[in-house]
Structure 1
Amino acid sequence: MQYAALASGSNGNSYYIANGQDAVLIDVGINTKQMELRMAKLAINPASISAIFITHEHSDHIRGLSVFCKRYQIPVYITAGSYKGSRLHLPDHLVNIILPNAKIEIGTLQVYGIPKYHDAQEPCSFLVSNGTHNIGVLTDLGRACDNVKHVIKHADVLLLEANYDEEMLEKGRYSFYLKNRIRSGWGHISNKLSLDVFLENRTQRLQHLILSHLSGQNNTVELVHETFAPHCAAIKLSIATRYEETELFDLQSLSLEKNVLVRVEKYSAQQTSLFVNESSSV
């Protein structure tokens, strides 16, 4: 499986996941020109996208949807509440209304809707699987509900929201109303809450954590890295930014790298043990 964050943040979100010839997008929150430019940098052909899944109707998740899906004639999967809230009028033949907990098969991919708490009409996150490996895309989380915890426990790759630093939000220029909306349990989760749910539910199968949907006003890449890096020595850690796409990651290559790292660590441990034993016999 291959995957990338094409855009991530309050200015726009879009995530690419593929298994062989089958490829999907989660959200199209930047304009079509930017989508095409960022995909070109990763050698992704927009015409290769089999389906688009929309998490909810906020503009940073659907801003480029109408033009992009019509230009490339890509089916859109969206809940009834999200479609109504979007006020978009897409061609009927491209619109597929789904339940928030739907399971949709796109070629060799299974896409699972994950209902969540967020201040939208019928929002859901998504987990994408090829039957062996699971990639969870969990952003715009009002709180770490049981659905979120379940995905973390079963993810090989996890794109997880770390939206704001609590102190920066409290001292920042946002209005009292907006601050309360963000931290109300229906908005977003902080770096601290994200770390807590990650540590409580991660398993040995997790290979790659990508922190996502960072606030431009109330967070920094440095703060997120400082928060998570001490807990990610055994896995790959990345941070998706609002300014550019990530690299195109390959899960098979990542697994090989992890196996090599484990073998090196075991070899180093054996050599250290041998040295200690030899030293003690002198």
Structure 2
Amino acid sequence: MRFASLGSGSEGNALVVEAASGHTTTRVLLDCGFSAKELERRLARLQYGIDALDAIVITHEHSDHIGSALTLARKWSLPLYMSWGTAKAVGADNADIDLHVLWGDETVSIGDLEVRPYTVPHDAREPLQFVFSDGARRLGVLTDVGTSTPHITAMLTGCDALVLECNHDTRMLATSRYPQSLKARIGGNHGHLSNDAAAQILSALDRTRLTHVVAAHLSQQNNSPELAQAALAHVLGSATEEVMVATQELGFDWLGCGAG
């Protein structure tokens, strides 16, 4: 199993997760927060087209995650997976698409991938985050969440790779030019994770299998890659540069999930 980001941040998010078994390969897009044209351009960096995707999975209805998902699902006859609350929020329940409704903690199989959604606190209708598995390795994804919960810890512990939101530095957010209401939303329990909060989540996990940690969904105004890397590296006891960062423009290239 391997994974790559097409971009991560407030201007658009998309993550490709791929698993192979024998002569078959399954390729799933987690979130589709770009226009169809831009998504095609970014997929081309991985030498793929939209026709290489087997399904699109959506975390929640915010525009930097839903983007062109309905358009692509309709045009390319792609199965679209999301919670019922998200489907209602974006009108997918009445759209001419192949809609699959997800429920928290109910694993679904998409080809060679097992996809387990789990519920998180965020300011959306029915947001989900995900753990992907090929039966041997586990990739945990956690972005767009305001605070940790015991359930989040239970879902992410023991993963082989982790994509973890480091949205903002608390001090930078507090002194930014954002209006107070926006600061409160971002920093609240249904907003986004600070670097320190992400580090606390990481520290609570069983990390014995963990080979890759990627800091994701960084604010371009209220964070820096160096601060996010330092917070996670401190927990890992690693060099700062060993923590990868998913950037808005480039995301990150393929990473294998686990050793071997």
Conserved in 2, the CA contact under 8 Å of 1:100 and 1:122? no
State the secondary structure of the residue aligned to 1:247. strand
Q: How many residues align?
A: 254
Deviation at 1:88, TM superposition (A): 4.8
Deviation at 1:236, TM superposition (A): 5.0
Please list every run of at least 4 consecutive aligned residues from structure 1 whose deviation after the TM superposition is greater than 6 angstroms: none
Quote the Cα distance in structure 2 between the aligned partners of 1:98 and 1:108: 18
Indicate yes or no: 2:55 matched with 1:55: no
- Give the match for residue 241 of structure 1: 247
Conserved in 2, the CA contact under 8 Å of 1:101 and 1:124? no
- Give the match for residue 86 of structure 2: 82
Deviation at 1:98, TM superposition (A): 2.0
- Give the match for residue 76 of structure 2: 72
TM-score, normalised with respect to structure 2: 0.92
Partner AA of 1:49 in structure 2: L
Deviations 1:197-233 (A, max 9, x none): 1012142111100110111211111211222234442
Partner AA of 2:180 in structure 1: F
Partner AA of 1:19 in structure 2: A
- Give the match for residue 2 of structure 2: 2
Quote the Cα distance in structure 2 between the aligned partners of 1:179 and 1:156: 33
TM-score, normalised with respect to structure 1: 0.85
Which aligned pairs between 1:38-53 and structure 2 lie closer than 5 A?
38-53=42-57
Deviations 1:63-107 (A, max 9, x none): 121222223221001111111112457744411122133211011
Distance 1:90 1:238, change over 3 A: farther
Give the structure with the larger helix fraction: 1
Mean Cα deviation higher: 144-153 or 166-175: 144-153
- Give the match for residue 109 of structure 1: 113
- Give the match for residue 154 of structure 2: 150
Indicate yes or no: 2:139 matched with 1:123: no
State the secondary structure of the residue aligned to 1:121. coil
Deviations 1:1-55 (A, max 9, x none): 1101111111111111010211111110011111111111112232121111111
Larger Rg: 1
Partner AA of 1:245 in structure 2: G
- Give the match for residue 200 of structure 1: 204
User: Cα RMSD between the aligned structures?
Assistant: 1.8
Quote the Cα distance in structure 2 between the aligned partners of 1:147 and 1:215: 25
Give the fraction of aligned pairs with identical amino acids, expressed as a percent: 33
- Give the match for residue 226 of structure 2: 222
- Give the match for residue 15 of structure 1: 15
Quote the Cα distance in structure 2 between the aligned partners of 1:207 and 1:150: 18
Partner AA of 1:113 in structure 2: P
Deviations 1:235-274 (A, max 9, x none): 95210011113111233xx624xxxxxxxxxxxxxxxxxx
Q: Which has the higher contact order (CA 8 A, sep 6+)?
A: 2
Partner AA of 2:11 in structure 1: N
Quote the Cα distance in structure 2 between the aligned partners of 1:68 and 1:93: 10
Mean Cα deviation higher: 32-41 or 227-236: 227-236
